[in-house]
Each structure stands twice: as structure tokens, then as C-alpha cells.
Amino acid sequence: MRAEGRLVTRVQTPRGLGCLAALILVAGCHSSAAPLTTRRQPLPLPPTPTPAATAAVMPIATTAEAVTVSHLQTTDRSSREVVEPPVAIAEAVEPLPESWTLESIEAIALRAHPMIGEARAEVESTRGRYVQAGLPYNPVLQYLSEEIGNSASSGLHSVTLFQQVVTANKLEIAQQVESQEIRVRQARLRIAELRVLTNVRAAFAQAMVCQHRYEIALQIVEIAEKSVHSVESLLAAKEVSKVALLQAEVEAEAARITAANAETELRAKKRALAAAMGTADQDFGRLSGGIDDDLTAAPWEALIAELEVSSPEIAAAGSQLERARWALQLACAQVTPDVTGQFGIGFDDSSDDAFATIGVSVPLPIRNRNQGNIRSARAEIVAATAAVDRTRLSLSGRLADAVGRYQMARQRYRMLQDRVIPNAMETLELSRKAFEAGETDFLQLLTAQRTLFATRLDLLNSLADAKTAHAEIEGLLVTTPDN
């Protein structure tokens, strides 16, 4: 629907297209300096949540505070959105530490892992969409020449400026939709950080256990070789039979095989640690740190109570729900049509008259009232609400599983360390004295040695299981695939 009026005044103007070129230039300057619609200040971007807010329960958040996305900012200069260029995905790597501790590896992983870089870039991309969602339509400048050659004149020449005005607060609502999407991406960035930290901690624990297992295997080799020399001396003194020497040699060879396998496994675990850190070609030296740190019997009730507040998965699901609600408001607002206004000036060469044109057009929402998008938005709200409940249930189940595995592994570790290992050591010592005194054979001594070292290896396996479950709990259980 268009209403159009024409005002005609008699003016004496020079003929020719030079005048029209001047009109176009003037119209273009005015359209860029002062469009028909007043400039709207954009909504502020949602702030990046601080790591302290997302990790109020767990102390591990301190290592991630240096990698927040506060650098992803937009500024408003002269009513114009200016987005800073995204930062580099991976910052320059600092000199490698001499001692590879868990803290040093975590710091490198938070800077260099591509999963975190990808999540940061997605936050920046969403911020760009936020800026774009709030921008109004550009004015349209049109030059039109009609009735050329009529009465031997150059015809009617006009320059018209069109401006589409967004109604029903659609731009602000669209920005609210994107602001919730920014919060979703920020939560997923936090999930990526926690997932990397969880994988690094679990891989570090596995590598540390393998390092100790290799050291124990070397001790087994040393003891087995000493046993061979002792049996050879006893055989020379005809105090034992050759069967004892053969048994000692077999035991020594088996110990060497065990040590070789332990060394191979240690190299594999270090490569897995490098991959978890995000630098697959990293060559580690000796890992340092307390192998049984953090194996406390502290109750997890506090974590259970705070998990809903601290979990970035629940934060992401909640932001998705808010986004769906704003999307419904936007779909409803889109029923109200936008208004297009026009203003133009022209010149009639045949009569030397200047004239102006004014028009307004509005689409009539008769057939299309955005019914499909409104219906879809309502369904998305229902789905997002169910997703929040599903996330809570999933976290509860994963927490119960991880805590159960941790408690069982810790109990087994403590029992082996406090009871079984001391008894096995005492048995070995008594068997050695009995063998040296000739009160027992070499087979009993070998059995006591095997029992002690098998128990020590079982102790390390229990420790690895406990540390892996502890890493999952400490990382807020973000070990499942991305949502």
C-alpha cells in the first residue's frame, strides 16, 4: 500500500544532467549523515562470565582464569559497531619447563589445545552475529529518469531515498536472541577447558603410574639378577641344586620382559599425555609430582549441592532455554510488518518545474502471519526445557558412577597400602632369611617376591583408577561428547 504526494513549484534552474548529478551527490551526503530513522544505540553485549563464577566449588578453575574470553569485546564508536579482530587461536608457547609437573602441563594445554581455540573462535563468531542482528537496514538511493524525448525534452529526472523502518522492537529482540547464544558459546568454551583439563589430569595420572610401574620393574630385574648370583654361589657351594639356578634365571628373564613392556607402555602413555595436552609431538622427560595426592575421603555432598550452579553444561542448557523464549518473542514480533518510507526530489525538463515525492508502503499480513515460525519456536521452548532436565539427570548419573568408582579404587588402594603391602614385605623378608638358613627352598622365596611385586603393581592400578575418577569429578564430569 503506497500513498504518494507531489509538490510542484516553479523554479528557474539550468538545464542538463549536471544539475541532477549535484542533486544525487547532495542526497547521498545527506543519507549518510542523517538517515530518515534515528540511530539506535545497540544493546550491550552480555558479559563474559568469570571463571570464579563457573568454578566456585572446585579449585581447578584457577588455571583456567587466564584464558577467559574477556578479550572478545565490541565497542560503539560514533554509533557504529566495531568488532576487534579475533585473537590468535594458539599463543606463543613459552620455554618448556625443566620439570614436567601437572600444573605446567595444564598451563600449556589451556593455551595450545585446538579444542579451546575452536571454542574461543565460536564465541567471537557469535558476537559478530550479535552485532549484525542489531543493525538497521541501509537506506536505498534511487535515480529515475522518465519520459525521455517527450516534447523534445530530457524528461523527468528524480532522486529518491528509501528507508525501511523496523517496527515492534525486532532488532533489540534479535540481539537478545544472539546474546543468549553468546552465553551458550561461553558455557561451551568452559566445557572445552574443563574437558581438556580432565583429559590432561587423567592422562598425567596414567603416565605417572606407568612411570612408577617401570621403576618397580627395574627393581624386580635388579633383585632377580642378584638372586641369580646368590643361587650361583650356593650352587658352587653345593648347597642348592641346579633346579634352583634354572628357576632364578627364568625369573630374571621374566623380569626383563616385564621391564621392557613397562618401558613401552610408559612411552605410549606419555604420547597420550602429549595428545591430551594438544601438542602431539611433545617429548616429555621425567614427570614429577605426588602420585597419591588428593586421594582424600572428603565427602562429595558439597559438590552435589553446587554442581547445578557450577556446571557449564547446565548453564548452556539454561541459556538455550532463554534463547528459545526470546526466539518466540521475535517470531511474534515479526507478525508486525516493517514500514518503508520514501522521499525524493526531481526536475521536469519540459516545464522547468522541481517537484518532491513522498511515499509510505506497508505489507499487509493477510496470508503470512509467521504461523510456522511461531509454532516452531514454541516447540523449541518445550525441547529446551526438557534438555535442562535431561542434563541434570545425566550429571547426577555420571556423578554417582564417578564417585562410586573413586571410592572403590581408593578403598582398595588404602587397604593394599596399609595392610597387604606390609604383610607381603614381611613375608619376603622371612622367606629370604629362611632360604639363607637353608630352612626352605628357592621356590618359596620366588613366590614371596612375586606376591610383593604383584601387590605393588595392583596398588598402582588402584591408584590409576582412583585418579581417573577423581579427574572426572574435579572437571565437573564434562567427559561426554559435546551437546
pLDDT in tens, 180-201: 999 999 999 999 999 999 999 9
371 band by pLDDT with thresholds 50, 70 and 90: very high
Percent of the chain with pLDDT over 90: 43
The letter for the amino acid at 349 is D
Mean pLDDT calculated for residue range 345-363: 89
Per-residue pLDDT reduced to its tens digit, 189-232: 999 999 999 999 999 999 999 999 999 999 889 988 888 888 88
What is the pLDDT, as a whole number, of residue 34?
Answer: 36
Percent of the chain with pLDDT over 70: 75
Q: Does position 91 have pLDDT exceeding 50, yes or no?
A: no
In whole angstroms, what is the distance from residue 285 CA to residue 70 CA?
35
Q: Which of 320-329, 345-354, 413-422 has the lowest mean pLDDT?
A: 345-354
Mean pLDDT calculated for residue range 389-413: 88
Q: Does position 387 have pLDDT exceeding 70, yes or no?
A: yes
In whole angstroms, what is the distance from residue 289 CA to residue 274 CA?
17
Mean pLDDT calculated for residue range 311-338: 94
CB-CB neighbours of 2 under 10 Å = 9
- In terms of C-beta density within 10 A (0-12 exposed, 13-18 middle, 19 or more buried), how is residue 233 classed? exposed
Determine which helix (DSSP H) or strand (DSSP E) holds 5, and give its type and residue range. Answer: strand 2-10
Mean pLDDT calculated for residue range 75-83: 37
Phi, psi of 311 (to 5 degrees): -70, 125
Tell the CATH topology of 42-134+166-335+370-474: Outer membrane efflux proteins (OEP) (1.20.1600)
- In terms of C-beta density within 10 A (0-12 exposed, 13-18 middle, 19 or more buried), how is residue 235 classed? middle
Per-residue pLDDT reduced to its tens digit, 277-292: 998 777 788 888 777 7
In whole angstroms, what is the distance from residue 407 CA to residue 427 CA?
29
What is the pLDDT, as a whole number, of residue 43?
Answer: 47
Q: Does position 482 have pLDDT exceeding 70, yes or no?
A: no
Half-sphere exposure of 192 (CA within 13 A, CB side): 25
What is the pLDDT, as a whole number, of residue 58?
Answer: 36
Q: Does position 16 have pLDDT exceeding 80, yes or no?
A: no
Highest mean pLDDT out of 55-64, 234-243, 331-340, 452-461: 331-340
Mean pLDDT estimate for the chain:
78
Per-residue pLDDT reduced to its tens digit, 112-154: 899 999 999 999 999 999 999 999 999 999 999 887 766 667 7
